């Protein structure tokens, strides 16, 4: 069996690995000059750094199992995380129940309410009970208006922009349930995983395994159209490097593109399926990566719960990962999720950095631009799907109405939020689906 796969991110590579492992041919076509999608890497200080910050939770067993399967298990490290919350001009530790009790921007009774309901959510496995209520309404009803305004509304606004009050409580449940799983039985210290050769090494070795198993992985290979004959996908029209457009014949096609791109590749999709694709909106991830000569803070992960700051998170990579991997430099991601219409989205990298610097000084009053050795700017469109009410009812099927054509993208990861682990799981599941359907 021959399967064409559009996209060389985690889902596409995982699907190709599964297919070739089962003795079938898979050809992967990635438009970018690198593999890994949102977890791709670039060189910094002699090492490889992700364009978008990435780590693994203890519960991320699908990708961890795959890392061991391809011989990179010895590269995995599990490290204690330091989580903070910036609010009221101060960085608050926010890793343990005791940290919550010390969070004085909330009254003592409100801190207890937040802790009580957070604990109950950690013990709740049925996500369906949260699907029909927004995170805003649930939090106000259970934790209080004060807790919502101080902690949750700034975080939801930062993550989802203008859609902040439309987000399903299922999304927030998933975040809380997942983080607790990474703290172990004591619920005191969160441990996060990272492959010390970077996620780029994982994807490079995965591509090598695909090739060794008889498949092919192409970069700089843009798919122009999915070939459909008699209602079935039969191949791809691909522009590879400088070689011009080529036609490739396949028995099935798996697309891992965002939903808004998929209709351009398969224009013969019926309207009902197109409506499902169009129903999900996305925000873009916009990142400034600072390479500093000294640390900005003591935290690894800092959520920004202050509406006056123009970014949602500050992730200091080298407060968890050894800075010697990056020439002893300190790596700081300043992250945002923005619509394409946003003023910040439309800024140049120089303008965006200039807009951020005064607010970085609020986080650390000693911060000075002279600390910046270099900086990098990355923008990923289609990064964050908007998870609204009753989202499970609008997810497009992996099996599209076109025979032998399959879709596997982040809008179909639910109730979990998008993540490398779930993309790996989905990619392998869809590959098995193809094998089942084609016999």
Both 354 and 264 in a single domain? no
Residue with tokens 């122009």: 224
CB-count burial class (<10 Å; 0-12, 13-18, 19+) for 219: middle
Q: Which of 189, 209, 244 is the last residue of a domain?
A: 189
Beta carbons within 8 Å of 128's beta carbon, 6+ residues apart = 170, 392
The tens place of each residue's pLDDT in the chain, 439 residues long, gives: 999 999 999 999 999 999 999 999 999 999 999 999 989 999 999 999 999 999 999 889 999 999 999 999 999 999 998 999 999 899 999 888 899 999 999 999 999 999 999 888 888 888 999 999 999 999 999 999 999 999 999 889 888 988 999 999 999 998 887 666 545 554 457 789 999 999 999 999 999 999 999 999 999 999 999 999 999 999 999 998 877 889 999 999 999 999 999 999 998 999 999 999 999 899 999 999 999 999 999 999 999 999 899 999 999 999 999 999 999 999 999 999 999 999 999 999 999 999 999 999 999 999 999 999 999 999 999 889 999 999 999 999 999 999 999 999 999 998 888 899 999 999 999 999 999 999 8
84 domain-assigned: no
Q: What is the pLDDT of residue 96?
A: 85
Both 101 and 228 in a single domain? no
Residue with tokens 């951020």: 356
What is the helix (H) or strand (E) element at residue 131, kind and residue range? none
Tokens, residue 166 = 């439309």
Number of domains into which the chain is organized: 3
Both 290 and 356 in a single domain? yes
146 domain-assigned: yes
Note the residue count of the chain. 439
Beta carbons within 8 Å of 234's beta carbon, 6+ residues apart = 227, 228, 249, 250, 404
The alpha-helical segments, DSSP class H, found in 326-408 are 349-363
23 domain-assigned: yes
47 domain-assigned: no
Both 184 and 234 in a single domain? no
Both 203 and 265 in a single domain? yes
Strands 282-292 and 372-385: antiparallel
Q: Which of 154, 172, 189 is the last residue of a domain?
A: 189
77 domain-assigned: no
Q: What is the pLDDT of residue 122?
A: 82
Tokens, residue 413 = 């990861």
Both 288 and 374 in a single domain? yes
- Structural domain containing residue 379: 282-384
Both 287 and 270 in a single domain? no
């Amino acid at each position: 069996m021959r399967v064409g796969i559009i996209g060389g991110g985690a889902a596409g590579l995982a699907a190709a690995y599964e297919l070739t492992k089962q003795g079938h041919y898979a050809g992967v076509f990635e438009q970018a000059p690198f593999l890994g999608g949102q977890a791709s890497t670039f060189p910094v200080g002699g090492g490889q750094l992700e364009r978008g910050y990435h780590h693994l939770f203890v519960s991320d067993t699908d990708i961890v199992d795959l890392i061991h399967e391809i011989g990179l298990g010895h590269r995995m490290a599990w490290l204690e995380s330091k989580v903070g919350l910036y609010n009221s001009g101060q960085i608050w530790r926010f890793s343990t129940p005791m940290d919550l009790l010390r969070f004085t921007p909330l009254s003592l009774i409100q801190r207890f309410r937040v802790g009580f309901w957070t604990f109950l959510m950690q013990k709740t496995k049925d996500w369906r009970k949260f699907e029909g209520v927004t995170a805003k309404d649930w939090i106000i009803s259970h934790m209080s208006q004060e807790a919502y305004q101080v902690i949750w509304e700034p975080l939801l606004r930062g993550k989802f922009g203008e859609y902040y009050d439309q987000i399903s409580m299922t999304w927030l449940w998933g975040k809380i349930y997942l983080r607790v799983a990474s703290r172990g039985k004591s619920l005191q210290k969160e441990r996060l995983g990272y492959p010390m050769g970077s996620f780029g090494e994982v994807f490079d070795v995965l591509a090598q395994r695909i090739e060794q198993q008889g498949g092919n992985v192409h970069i700089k290979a843009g798919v122009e159209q999915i070939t459909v004959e008699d209602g079935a996908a039969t191949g791809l029209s691909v522009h590879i490097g400088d070689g011009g457009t080529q036609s490739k014949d396949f028995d099935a096609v798996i697309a891992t593109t965002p939903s808004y791109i998929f209709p351009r590749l398969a224009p013969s999709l019926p309207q009902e399926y197109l409506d499902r694709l169009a129903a999900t909106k996305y925000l873009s991830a916009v990142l400034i990566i600072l390479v500093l000569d000294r640390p900005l803070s003591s935290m690894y992960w800092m959520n920004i719960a202050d509406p006056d700051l123009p970014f949602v998170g500050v992730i200091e990579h080298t407060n968890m990962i050894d800075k010697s991997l990056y020439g002893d430099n300190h790596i700081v991601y300043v992250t945002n999720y923005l619509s394409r219409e946003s003023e910040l989205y439309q800024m140049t990298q120089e303008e965006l950095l200039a807009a951020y610097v005064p607010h970085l000084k609020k986080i650390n009053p000693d911060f000075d631009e002279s600390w910046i050795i270099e900086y990098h700017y990355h923008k990923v469109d289609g990064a964050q799907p908007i998870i609204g009410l009753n989202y499970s009812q609008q997810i497009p099927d992996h099996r599209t109405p076109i025979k032998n054509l399959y879709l596997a993208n982040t809008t179909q990861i639910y109730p979990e939020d998008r993540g490398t682990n779930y993309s790996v799981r989905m990619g392998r599941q869809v590959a098995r689906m193809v094998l089942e359907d084609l016999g």
